[in-house]
Amino acid sequence: MSMITIEKIQELTEKYHGEVAGIRKELHRFPELALQEYRTSEYIQTYLQKLGIPFTSGYAITGILAVIEGNKPDIKTLALRADMDALPIKELTGLDYQSEHPGIMHACGHDAHMAMLLGAARILKEVSAELEGRVLLIFQPSEEKLPGGALRMIEEGALSQFPPDIVIAQHVMPELPSGTAGFCPGKYMASTDELYISIKGTGGHAAMPDQITDSVLIAAQLLVSLQQLISRMAPPGIPSVLSFGRIEADGACNIIPSEVKLFGTFRTLDENWRYQAHEKIKKLCEGVVTAMGAACELEIQPGYPAVDNDSALTAAAMDLAAQYLGHGQAKAIQSQMTAEDFAYFGRLAPSLLFRLGIAGKEGLHSKPLHSPFFSIDEEALKTGVGLLSWFALSLLGKD
């Protein structure tokens, strides 16, 4: 096991905190959408070159894989992953480093994820003689948009030369205070599938419903029926969510449109039930819409699988976090129905996605993810850099 102490890691995180905070601000100012992270990728590559860390790039267009070799690199390989893309949100924080790309914002903390991984890279490179193995740094594009960048990086061979034995990622969490981290073993985040439904009939005058097909009413009935499917047919012990966030009915007060479109998402923590639900949704859509005199077209676009945190790895990391952060600062958290394509890395090796607290004092920096007001407490960057470094040094030295 590494002889590097917690105190040494904390000393180094303090030493490089200003630099890491500056990296995060620079990345925040110039956010880029999924698979368009060209400037972001160039910035990361320049920094890795500065540190003398070898890397390859171009995976999933903008993705990067960097490698830090320890004293016995072939004994064990641990991968650390950060996502790169921003969201199509207009920032309203008013920060002096607010987004300079109109309508695009790092509202999910990916700027912080990248900055903290680069901070950990700096530390791990500096103490690489103490690394009993190899550390991979994965900078992954397109986490926010299906089909995601993780699977594409894997399929393009990013990890084929050095298959990881462990894969770890962190994600900021506004609900947790700075200086803490959250852990959940087993199924932690849901699978996510997108639903596109088109109801087609014969539109016409709203005053003559007997002469047309009321596609709006059919859509309303279908929405209610689909919610009943989840509440009455889903196994009670399996969390499931079906939500529709967009309806297009291009009519008017006195015009019933010929077509109504519904856009939704289905999420669950169980892969078997996931695909059973797909079939039930298909049958229900066809049955309800046909019975009411219209035609139905349904596309279900499968998305990310559920994130499954390896129980033994999670327990080990939680113990290490408690050592590093202090008693009570490593917290047990509940599973949630958000989704992450980090799940694909979990199919390669034991994996862990943990949460980093970012809420400052007096409730500052606690706006939810994907909010135009989202920001982080910069003190949390020290915690994230330190934990990534400590996990790498400690877990590479363990069986």
In a domain, 134, yes or no: yes
85 catalytic residue (yes or no): yes
Instruction: Check residue 304 and give left, alpha or beta (phi > 0: left; psi -120 to 50: alpha).
Output: beta
Round to whole Å and give the CA distance between 222 and 216. Answer: 10
> Tens digit of pLDDT for each residue in 323-374?
999 989 999 999 999 999 999 999 999 999 999 999 987 667 789 999 999 9
> Considering only CA atoms, which of 132, 141, 139, 167 is closest in space to residue 53?
139
Of 302, 323, 340, which residue is a domain's last? 302
pLDDT surpasses 60 at 109: yes
Same-domain check for residues 20 and 46 = yes
pTM, to two decimals: 0.94
Are residues 137 and 216 both part of a single domain?
Answer: no
- Tell me the pLDDT band of 72, cut-offs 50, 70 and 90: confident
| Statement to judge: residues 235 and 338 lie in one domain | no
Express each pLDDT in 241-298 by its tens digit.
999 999 999 999 999 999 999 999 999 999 999 999 999 999 999 999 999 999 999 9
Averaged over 15-42, what is the pLDDT?
A: 98
Where is the domain boundary, 302, 330, 363?
A: 302
Among residues 286, 302, 318, the one where a domain terminates is 302
Domain of residue 201: give its range: 191-302
* pLDDT for the residue 73: 84
- Residue 148: CA atoms inside 13 Å, Cβ hemisphere, count? 22
Rounded CA-CA distance 170/117 in Å is 9
Q: Is residue 1 part of a domain?
A: no
pLDDT above 60 for 121: yes
Average confidence (pLDDT) over 84-111: 97
Specify whether 11 is located in the same domain as 135: yes
What pLDDT shows up at residue 3? 81
- Across the chain, mean pLDDT equals 96
**Residue linked to tokens 């700075």:** 178
Q: How confident is the model at residue 223 (pLDDT cuts 50, 70, 90)?
A: very high
**pLDDT value of position 371:** 96
Residue 289 included in any domain:
yes
Non-local CB neighbours of 210 within 8 Å, separated by 6+ positions: none
| Position 69 in a domain | yes
Confidence grade of residue 101 (pLDDT, cut at 50, 70, 90): very high
Question: How sure is the predictor about 137, in pLDDT bands with cuts at 50, 70 and 90?
Answer: very high
- For residue 69, what pLDDT band results from cuts at 50, 70 and 90? very high
Q: Is 214 an annotated catalytic residue?
A: no
Q: Distance between CA atoms of 136 and 165, rounded to whole angstroms?
A: 11
Tens-digit pLDDT profile for residues 150-174:
999 999 999 999 999 999 999 999 9
pLDDT tier for residue 32 given thresholds of 50, 70 and 90: very high
What pLDDT sits at residue 398?
A: 73
Number of domains in the chain: 2
Q: pLDDT at position 399, please?
A: 63
State whether 211 and 235 are in the same domain.
yes
For residue 261, what is the domain's CATH number? 3.30.70.360
Per the residue annotation, which of 85, 259, 270, 340 is the catalytic one? 85
Q: Which one from 32, 83, 143, 341 is the annotated catalytic residue?
A: 143
Tens-digit pLDDT profile for residues 283-331: 999 999 999 999 999 999 999 999 999 999 999 999 999 999 998 999 9
> Residue 213 has what pLDDT?
95
Q: What angle do CA 4, 160, 118 make, to 5 degrees?
A: 40
Q: What is the pLDDT of residue 283?
A: 96
pLDDT at 1 over 60: no
Residues 40 and 169 in one domain: yes
